[in-house]
Chain A
Amino acid sequence: MSVQCPNAAEDRRLRELLRRQDKNRGFLVAFEGPDGSGKTTQRKLFKAWMRSVGHEVVTYKWNSSPLISPILKARKLAHSLSPEEYCLLSAAAFRHQLNTEILPALWSGKVVVADQFLYTAVARDSARGLDLNWVLNAYLPLFWPDQVFYFALSAEAASDRGRAKVPSFYSAGQDVTNIKDPVKSHLQFLGRVIQEFEALSTIFQFLKVDARQSIWEQHREIRQKFMTAERRPWGEWNTEAVLAWLSARAGTPNGETGKEEE
């Protein structure tokens, strides 16, 4: 047996704790979609709505881990990241934020609104040519949000919306397209990203929002979908990720293997 795993009694205790807290926990809603699809606007509106009905809301932003983001930013500026390195550094940043920001907030009953969860990164990594299984493995154990809103838009429309701003080297996918013009590269890369999103949308059961609609139509649709969709019980969907976090909180950094499930 590995030295840092909780023993069987501790494991049972943590599972019981998880089961009881599942009723009182907050919920996680993710907003995913290509650049220019309007997810940030919708995330802000959703957050304001949640607050207005009395929820305490926390925003999670992709790649903002204070531990790893400075490293990522420096490498991005230097254009020195390979697709694999980019993927692993992002996965490390995500895991760190999941354990230090997302799970503590959910555990204490807050609503977490994620402006890009891991799916945007997975779509981009796959669009960069990485093997989807290898990418998903980097994000294991997976943590499923209660709801994922996917803003569907064509590459041309998304690119048109972002025309005022020149996309950065990695956002434009210039590391893989080898196109010098960032706008042209972005358009081509967006096409690939959207293709990956469509595949992920089926696998991970996204709630699709037609991003061509007006801002208010989209917001209304999100409200309706949010009210009718059910939360994902942690006991069924997120046991391994939550147990790993709980056991780390209890003083042993691991037990991430989810022994009973194996």
Chain B
Amino acid sequence: MAKPEKKKSKKDHCGSLVALDGTNGVMLRSEAERLARLCCGAADPAWSLWDASNTFYELRMVKAKNLTPTPRVLMLLYASDLLFRLRWEIEPALKEGRTVVAAPYVESAMAFGVAAGLSKEWIEELFRFAPKPAASFRLKEKKKGKERKKDGEGEPGFVEFFCASLARHYPGWETAEVRREMLKYLKSLEERDRIHEFGNKPYHIKRALTPAG
């Protein structure tokens, strides 16, 4: 006789990669854990944050004022950091059967690169190594002044770091406009159901994590 089917628990969602992307790097840091807990419940959630490799931290420590990274250089470094995160954080956790929230993942880089004028095809090929996540979320923007820190203030996220580095050297750099373009790109993915909004309503998460979602 076949065993009775086990009741589905929250744990059934574990062992998968969940991407959390957005235009606010600082918020992505803080929201990754919340999303990981919502995905797994109490089942040992894991999350992987930008600059786990310390590449950008080391860049900030370089005390040469004339060093000018371009968006292309930053994108290459972002990709190398993601490789590090995949090797040391994401893949080991997945092997243990845990759900890992990668915040940010590929779409944030794609949104930034496209907003900065890089070719989409180039970025797609660059990130070809990255496995497709089981579900992708876009962090809902909060109103100005609520959570967003000023660029360069405190511990920056990738958007803040990239924009601050570029704005220092390029007078034509418009951070607000870059964020608007990034959001436009991410929302276009949402319209095609490739990414789901992650706000305060957790029922969206369950729906996105089911195969039909």
Contact = CB atoms under 8 A, between A and B. Distances in A.
Q: Do A and B come from one complex?
A: yes
A235 interface: no
19 contacts: A2-B114, A3-B181, A67-B73, A71-B55, A71-B59, A84-B83, A85-B84, A88-B80, A89-B77, A99-B68, A100-B66, A133-B125, A137-B125, A137-B126, A251-B171, A252-B170, A253-B172, A256-B70, A257-B117
Contacts of B83: 82, 84-85, 88
Nearest to A245: B70
Interface string B83-124: 110010000000000000000000000000011111100100
A84 B114 CA distance: 23
Interface in B173-196: 173-174, 177-178, 180-181
A29 B171 CA distance: 34
B72 interface: yes
Interface of A: 2-5, 66-68, 70-71, 74, 82, 84-85, 88-89, 91-92, 95-96, 99-100, 133-134, 137-138, 140, 244, 248, 250-257, 262
A253 B173 contact: yes
A184 to B, nearest CB: 27
Contacts of A91: 76
A51 to B, nearest CB: 26
Contacts of A96: 67-70, 73
A252 B172 contact: yes
B71 interface: yes
A226 B170 CA distance: 38
Contacts of A262: 119
Interface residues of B, number: 42
Interface of B: 55, 58-59, 62, 64, 66-73, 76-77, 79-80, 83-84, 87, 114-119, 122, 125-126, 128-129, 166, 169-174, 177-178, 180-181
B58 A2 contact: no
Given A66-B62, A67-B69, A92 B171 contact: no
A123 B85 CA distance: 26
A250 B71 CA distance: 15
A251 B180 CA distance: 20
A252 B70 CA distance: 10
Nearest to B59: A67
Contact of A4 (B64, B69, B178): B178
A67 B126 contact: no
Nearest to B119: A257
Determine which residue in A71, A252, A253, A257 has the highest number of CB atoms from chain B within 10 A of its CB, and name it.
A253
Contact of B118 (A100, A248, A257): A257
A92 B73 contact: yes
Among all A-B residue pairs, the 10 with the closest Cβ atoms = A254-B117, A92-B76, A88-B80, A4-B117, A2-B117, A252-B172, A251-B172, A5-B117, A137-B125, A67-B67
B67 A256 contact: no
Nearest to B66: A100
Contacts of B126: 137-138
B185 to A, nearest CB: 10
A158 to B, nearest CB: 29
Contacts of B180: 3
Nearest to B165: A253
Residue among A66, A71, A100, A255 with most chain B CB within 10 A = A71
B69 to A, nearest CB: 7
Q: Among B70, B114, B115, B119, find the residue whose CB has the most chain A CB atoms closer than 10 A.
A: B70
B125 A99 contact: no
B80 A89 contact: yes
Contacts of A138: 76, 126
A85 B177 CA distance: 31
A87 B192 CA distance: 33
